[in-house]
Amino acid sequence: MNGSDEFRHWPASDGAGLAASVSVFADRPALRDQMAEDLADAGFRLIKAGEVAALLDGELAALGDVVLLDCPAVDAGTMAALARLDMRVARSGAQLIVSTSLEALDDVFACFDQSRPQILVDPGRAERVVAVGRILGHLAGGRVRELSREDRAALLQLTQQVDAIARQLEGLRSRLGDDESDPKRLGDPRSAFRGFADSSRVEKLAKPGLPDARLVREIIRHRHARAKFFDAALFGDPAWDMLLDLTAAYAEKLRVSVTSLCIASGVPPTTALRWVRQMTEAGLFERVEDVADKRRAFISLSDTARDAMACYFAEIGEPALACAA
- Is pLDDT above 80 for 290? yes
The C-alpha atoms of residue 184 and residue 6 are separated, in whole angstroms, by 8
Mean of the pLDDT values across residues 235-264?
92
Mean of the pLDDT values across residues 33-38?
89
The pLDDT, as a whole number, for residue 322 is: 53
Domains annotated for the chain, with CATH where assigned, are 3-176 (3.40.50.2300), 199-323 (1.10.10.10)
Find, among 128, 235, 237, 233, the residue nearest to 185 by Cα.
Answer: 128
The pLDDT, as a whole number, for residue 227 is: 80
Give the list of residues 6+ apart from residue 178 with CB closer than 8 angstroms, or none.
172
Find, among 89, 83, 110, the residue nearest to 22 by Cα.
Answer: 89
The pLDDT, as a whole number, for residue 211 is: 82
The pLDDT, as a whole number, for residue 100 is: 96
The C-alpha atoms of residue 114 and residue 98 are separated, in whole angstroms, by 14
Tell me which of 186 and 122 has the higher pLDDT: 122
Tell me which of 321 and 218 has the higher pLDDT: 218
Q: What is the DSSP string of 73-131?
A: S--HHHHHHHHHHHHHHHHHT-EEEEEE-TTTHHHHHHH-SSS--EEEES--HHHHHHH
Give the list of residues 6+ apart from residue 99 with CB closer than 8 angstroms, or none.
68, 69, 70, 71, 72, 119, 120, 121, 122, 123, 128
23 by DSSP, 3-state: which?
Answer: strand
- Is pLDDT above 70 for 65? yes
* Residue 99 half-sphere exposure toward CB, CA atoms < 13 A: 22
Mean of the pLDDT values across residues 127-150?
63
Work out the pLDDT band at 135, boundaries 50, 70, 90.
confident
Contact present, 116 and 95 (Cβ < 8 Å): no
Mean of the pLDDT values across residues 30-39?
90
- Of 62-71, 141-150, 300-309, the one with minimum mean pLDDT is 141-150
Q: What is the DSSP string of 238-287?
A: HHHHHHHHHHHHHHTT--EEHHHHHHHHTS-HHHHHHHHHHHHHTTSEEE
Q: For residue range 197-213, what is the model confidence (pLDDT) as tens digits? A: 554 554 554 567 788 88
The pLDDT, as a whole number, for residue 256 is: 96
Tell me which of 117 and 169 has the higher pLDDT: 117
Tell me which of 273 and 195 has the higher pLDDT: 273
- Is pLDDT above 50 for 147? no
Q: For residue range 73-123, what is the model confidence (pLDDT) as tens digits? A: 999 889 999 999 999 999 888 899 999 999 999 999 999 999 999 999 999
Q: For residue range 266-287, what is the model confidence (pLDDT) as tens digits? A: 889 999 999 999 999 989 999 9
Tell me which of 124 and 202 has the higher pLDDT: 124
Work out the pLDDT band at 153, boundaries 50, 70, 90.
low
The pLDDT, as a whole number, for residue 178 is: 47
